[in-house]
Amino acid sequence: MRTIAFNGKFRAGKHNGVWRVSDRLIREVDSLLADMPMAARPDVRVIVPAGCPAAEPYRVIRVEEDGQGPSQSWEQRRLPALARGSLLVNLANLAPVFHRPKVTMLHDAQFCRPDCSYPWRQRMGYRLLAPLMARSSKLVLTVSDYSRHDLAGYGVIGGGRVEILHNGADHILEMAADAGALARLGLITGEYLLMFGSVKAYKNNKVVFDALALAAQAHAAGLGWPPRRLVIVGPGRAALENAGLVPPADAVFAGGCDDAVLRALYEGAQALLFPSRTEGFGLPPVEAMLCRCPVIAAPCGAVPEVCGAAALMADPDDPTAWLEQIGALEDSATRATMVAAGLARAGRYTWVGAGRNLLNLLMECAA
């Protein structure tokens, strides 16, 4: 069996969703390897460029730090030499084109979309490299059937083998909720709606802002229920307004949140609003469901595939549809039904399951 080497360049990047997925999958593989008999265990290592933040030690997987720092040149030229003879596993969208054999994970095809809000140079770089990486890979992984079809439709992946490896979401339950988070933000349990803010066009924050503006106008005219406050995770008011968006006047801006604060916000929210027009997987709705928070989402991207009937759906271009679904959750029986459905649906997305699926695929490819 070939040795297995993980591309550790992701450790030099920001702690974003791709970083979390890469790190967590490697840790799950490490735990599974540690439980295997030594005779059946493949030799596995992570190759990282110099200067990356130190990681917690693995139980079995070896960490090999190179003397050169992270760069595109390191990944495309230096890494293949360091991983020569190994099955190279790349979990963060990028891989050296000329190394074989390799496994490459492409999370989505957002870089192919004109509204992706990525810098032009980054978008063009991905569009050039991604098809070359995919076609030179023994196996391509992606996070949903939607992403698989999307990547194929844009010509990123060809006729090679592609497997679906869903994300896990149960990390949100591993840390206790921050007991003081709601009080610090001036929030009351059950009296607010939650949303992830973004200036990216495809995240479609506008339809939620428009819906809540309509609700405020109707209430001022003596019609309808008073709109709940909106809590926005991520960018502040100025960033959203500079992008041409108009958040509610009474919106609460929570900023960047760690998992403890995020869990508290999920658990206290009346609902998570997720209006994105496209998602490769859609992690926040699954996290919310695990925290007993109902979800209202646009039926776009992988969200219908991932959430099924456990989320209420609203047209991404119709603010009135969003108000209707928000209103539906005012009924306690409807809300209880959605909470139960969400728990059942989200329970299938675990990191240990994702790690087990990944290890089985790697063992097969390395054999």
Model pLDDT for residues 66-110, shown as the tens digit of each residue: 999 999 999 999 999 999 999 999 999 999 999 999 999 999 998
Mean pLDDT of 164-171: 96
Distance CA 141, CA 235 (A): 31
Decide: residue 76, CB within 10 A, 0-12 exposed, 13-18 middle, 19+ buried.
Answer: middle
**pTM given for the model:** 0.93
The closest of 316, 309, 300 to 346, measured between CA atoms, is 309
Q: How many domains does the chain have?
A: 2
Distances (CA, A) of 1 to 61, 89, 359: 16, 15, 14
Same domain, 77 and 199: no
Decide: residue 181, CB within 10 A, 0-12 exposed, 13-18 middle, 19+ buried.
Answer: buried
Kindly tell me the sign of the dihedral angle through the C-alpha atoms of 79, 82, 88, 90: negative
Same domain, 219 and 309: yes
Mean pLDDT of 303-310: 98
Q: How far is CA 49 from the centre of its chain?
A: 24
CA atoms in the 13 A half-sphere facing the CB of 272: 32
Same domain, 204 and 159: no
Share of the chain above pLDDT 90, in %: 86
Same domain, 194 and 337: yes
CATH number at residue 325: 3.40.50.2000
- Mean pLDDT over all residues of the chain? 94
The closest of 155, 233, 161 to 192, measured between CA atoms, is 233
Same domain, 340 and 358: no
Structural domain of 157: 4-168+351-366
Same domain, 85 and 191: no
CA-atom Rg of the chain in angstroms: 22
Same domain, 205 and 224: yes
Mean pLDDT of 136-145: 97
Same domain, 105 and 185: no
Residue 116 pLDDT > 70: no
Same domain, 311 and 333: yes
Contacts of 125 (CB under 8 A, 6+ apart): none
Same domain, 104 and 176: no
Contacts of 49 (CB under 8 A, 6+ apart): 8, 9, 12, 65, 66, 68, 69, 70, 71, 74, 78
Q: What is the pLDDT of residues 21-64, one digit of tens each?
A: 999 999 999 999 999 999 999 999 999 999 988 778 999 999 99
Same domain, 137 and 261: no
Same domain, 188 and 263: yes
Pairing of the two strands 312-313 and 295-297: parallel
